[in-house]
Every structure is written in C-alpha cells, then in structure tokens.
C-alpha cells in the first residue's frame, strides 16, 4: 500500500541499496575472525551470519517493506557498532595509535 504512492524507480534503487549493503555486511561478518567477536564483547559470529544471511535472503526474494527495513536496521547496527569493535580488537585501523609514517613492520625512521 505504501509503495503504490511512490515511483517504481525509487523503490528499485532502495531495494538495490538494501541488497548491496546487506551483502557487504554479510561478507565482512564472514571474513572476521570468530575470536574477534568474543574479544570485542559482541554476539557470536554465527549469530551475525544468520541475521545478515536472513537479511540478504529477504532483500533478494521477499518484497515486504517492513522486513526490508528490519534488515536494514540490523545491517546498520553491524556497520556502526559491531564492525568497528571487531576492527579495533583485530588491530585494524589507527584509532588511538600509530602515525601516517608507520610502515607494515613499524615506524619508518627515514633510514637512520
């Protein structure tokens, strides 16, 4: 009923955005280490894979606005809360340390 008042092109774009974001979150959740979830104090990896997998399936096969929005909320929670915590625990990013002159094996000192 809500979709009847909007342009079809807008809904196709929104569906595509929902699908791409949920697939990206699912892939990132799958690539993270299991122990990083525990160390960050987040739900288990299997929990996030199930939630995000359901979100991908809903976005692919079911065109129900309520379910798509619920999946989008789960995806946003993963991107905003879980992924940064896992990245920090795993050593990703430079939050709180390092500098732009650090190399892959430590600080670059200019050959001194």
pLDDT tens for 90-106 read 876 554 455 555 666 66
pLDDT of residue 71: 92
Domain annotation covers residue 108: no
Residues β-bridged to residue 102 = 107
- Could you tell me which of 8, 17, 6, 33 has the C-alpha nearest to residue 72? 17
Domain, as residue range, for 45? 2-89
Q: Which residue has the higher pLDDT, 98 or 16?
A: 16
Domain annotation covers residue 97: no
Hey, is 81 helix, strand or coil? helix
Overall domain count for the chain: 1
Domain annotation covers residue 31: yes
pLDDT digits (tens, 9 = 90+) for 40-67: 888 899 999 999 999 999 999 987 888 8
pLDDT of residue 30: 94
Domain annotation covers residue 68: yes
pLDDT digits (tens, 9 = 90+) for 21-40: 999 999 999 999 998 898 88
Helices (H) and strands (E) in the chain, counts: 5, 2
pLDDT of residue 2: 53
Asked if residue 55 lies in contact with residue 26, where contact means CB atoms within 8 angstroms, the answer is yes
Domain annotation covers residue 77: yes
Please give the model's pTM, rounded to 2 decimal places: 0.72
pLDDT of residue 106: 64
Domain annotation covers residue 73: yes
Domain annotation covers residue 84: yes
The answer to whether the Cα torsion of 47, 73, 81, 78 is positive or negative is positive
Asked if residue 55 lies in contact with residue 75, where contact means CB atoms within 8 angstroms, the answer is yes
Tokens 């894979």 correspond to: 49
State the Cα–Cα distance between residues 27 and 43, nearest whole angstrom. Answer: 17
Domain annotation covers residue 78: yes
pLDDT of residue 65: 81
Residue 53 C-alpha from the chain's centroid: 12
State the Cα–Cα distance between residues 86 and 13, nearest whole angstrom. Answer: 30
pLDDT of residue 62: 85
């Amino acid at each position: 009923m809500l979709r009847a008042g909007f342009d079809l092109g807008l809904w196709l774009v929104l569906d595509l955005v929902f699908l791409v974001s949920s697939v990206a979150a699912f892939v990132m959740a799958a690539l993270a280490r299991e122990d990083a979830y525990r160390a960050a104090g987040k739900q288990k990896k299997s929990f996030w894979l199930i939630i995000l997998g359901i979100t991908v399936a809903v976005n692919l096969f079911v065109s129900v606005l309520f379910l798509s929005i619920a999946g989008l909320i789960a995806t946003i929670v993963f991107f905003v809360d879980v992924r940064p915590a896992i990245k920090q625990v795993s050593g990703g990013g430079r939050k709180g340390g390092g500098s732009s002159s650090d190399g892959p094996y430590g600080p670059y000192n200019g050959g001194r």
